[in-house]
Amino acid sequence: MPELPEVETVRRGLEPALVGAHIDRVVLNRKDLRFPFPERFVARLEGQEVIALGRRAKYLLADLAGGEVLAMHLGMTGRFTIIKPVCAGPDGGLTEPGGFYYTAATRGAHDHVCFELSTGHRIVYNDARRFGFMVLLARSELDSHPLFRGLGVEPLGNELDGALLARLFAGKAAPLKAALLDQRLVAGLGNIYVSEALHRAGLSPQRAAGTLAGRTGKPTRGADRLAGAIRDVLAEAVAAGGSTLRDYRQTDGALGYFQHRFRVYDREGEPCPTPACRGVIARSVQSGRSTFHCAVCQR
DNA sequence: ACTGGATCCTGCCTGC
DNA sequence: TGCAGGCAGGATCCAG
């Protein structure tokens, strides 16, 4: 479920295990994800120390001591799991505090990559649909790399406000839904949070994006509301993800799960949650993707 | 320049 | 119960 908040949640979950550790061994269970793994992928990673774990839009960025960056995109179904070290139990046998081993026998069907760290931790990447991918690139070429060059503004950074949105959307006939999904404008929103942000802002997903730029190019109140709604919904989701992170060892240990309540997403037919609004959440399809909105309070 | 559609892949849910 | 069909949170590419 990786939009920006989920990726940030995964980043925060992985950071303590990954940063400062060396990658002793990398096991690939297949030769590609969405794309083939980079040339000499394993050799370039093994022996490297991870010195930082960052995020840009929906990409995780692991900085390596040698100057390369491991950039990882989770696609639709990518997940990371931390497997804690196995240690000797009271009965003399091997037990594991989190309650599970990671062996060939327990390996999940779509566990494609396993990073074995110097701390004894293993970090497993699982991706059923394989829309995710990993690339290795020099830190110095990050900003000019085709994957990152065109990315738009980071929505939780300081730049995003109504004025910037108005500038980005000026002259665009595309519906707000499509404009917000465009990673070249605002980077990190996905199908869920676009619906959520538009509902909070009281803006119809069908409305032309350019109408938020006013006639003089000045931001409208709608643009200000939308910028605020984007920041609020993402920040709340990140906070919700973080609040459940302490439990990451239970069940299958997958990072990035959280119980965030969506106000409109997947709530077709339910009453609109806006106070005093008598509307009902409708589902529609825009450029092949589900949109959820209330026609009464979103204009 | 913008837009909609097809596409990659697997799993799950629905309806017949 | 079985199975076909549709749908899924991403992002790119292509035709129009």
CATH code, domain with A40? 3.20.190.10
Q: How many domains does chain A divide into?
A: 2
Domain match, A133 and A188 both? no
Q: How far is the CA of A79 from the C1' of C7 (A)?
A: 21
Range of the domain at A189: 162-261
Q: Per-residue pLDDT for chain A (299 aa), expressed as one digit of tens each?
A: 588 988 998 898 899 999 999 999 999 999 999 999 999 999 999 999 999 999 999 999 999 999 999 999 999 889 898 887 776 555 555 555 444 556 666 777 889 999 999 998 889 999 998 999 999 999 999 988 889 988 999 999 999 999 999 999 988 888 999 999 999 999 999 999 999 999 999 999 999 999 998 888 888 999 999 999 999 999 998 888 755 443 333 334 555 454 567 899 989 999 999 999 999 999 988 878 899 999 999 99
Q: What is the DSSP letter of A187?
A: S
Domain match, A98 and A235 both? no
What pLDDT does residue A249 have? 37
Q: How far is the CA of A129 from the C1' of B12 (A)?
A: 13
Give a yes or no: residue A275 inside a domain: no
Cα–Cα dist A215/A276, whole Å: 31
Domain match, A36 and A110 both? yes
Q: Is the CB of A78 under 7 A from strand C?
A: no
Beta strands, E only, A44-162: 50-56, 59-64, 68-73, 78-83, 87-88, 94-95, 111-117, 122-127, 133-138
Domain match, A215 and A242 both? yes
Q: What residue is closest to B9 (Cα–C1')?
A: A129
What pLDDT does residue A100 have? 52
Q: What residue is closest to B10 (Cα–C1')?
A: A129
Q: How far is the CA of A198 from the C1' of C12 (A)?
A: 25
Domain match, A241 and A110 both? no
Q: Is the CB of A289 under 7 A from strand B?
A: no
Domain match, A138 and A167 both? no
- The last residue of one of the domains, among A149, A184, A218, is A149
Give a yes or no: residue A72 inside a domain: yes
Give a yes or no: residue A272 inside a domain: no
What pLDDT does residue A255 have? 55
Q: Is the CB of A119 under 7 A from strand C?
A: no
Q: Is A3 a catalytic residue?
A: yes
Q: Is the CB of A284 under 7 A from strand C?
A: no
Determine whether A60 is exposed, middle or buried from the number of CB atoms within 10 Å of its CB (0-12, 13-18, 19+): buried
Q: What is the DSSP letter of A182?
A: -
Q: Is the CB of A73 under 7 A from strand C?
A: yes
Domain match, A64 and A140 both? yes
Give a yes or no: residue A294 inside a domain: no
What pLDDT does residue A288 have? 81
Q: Is A287 left (phi over 0), alpha (psi -120 to 50) or beta?
A: left
Domain match, A34 and A141 both? yes
Give a yes or no: residue A217 inside a domain: yes
Q: Is the CB of A109 under 7 A from strand B?
A: yes
Which two three-digit tokens encode residue A41? Answer: 């992928």
Domain match, A81 and A14 both? yes
| Nucleic acid strand B: bases within 7 A of protein CB | 2-11
Give a yes or no: residue A270 inside a domain: no
What pLDDT does residue A102 have? 65
Q: Would you say A81 and A253 are in contact if contact means Cβ atoms under 8 Å apart?
A: yes
What pLDDT does residue A107 have? 77
CATH number for the domain that contains residue A235? 1.10.8.50
Binding residues of A: 110, 129, 172
Side-chain half-sphere exposure of A153, counting CA atoms within 13 A: 22
Give a yes or no: residue A156 inside a domain: no
Domain match, A10 and A49 both? yes
Q: Would you say A297 and A202 are in contact if contact means Cβ atoms under 8 Å apart?
A: yes
Q: Is A289 a catalytic residue?
A: yes
Domain match, A139 and A68 both? yes
What pLDDT does residue A250 have? 33
Q: How far is the CA of A271 from the C1' of C4 (A)?
A: 33
Between CA A96 and CA A102, with CA A97 as vertex, the angle to 5 degrees is 40
Q: How far is the CA of A119 from the C1' of B7 (A)?
A: 41
Cα–Cα dist A233/A235, whole Å: 6
Domain match, A101 and A9 both? yes
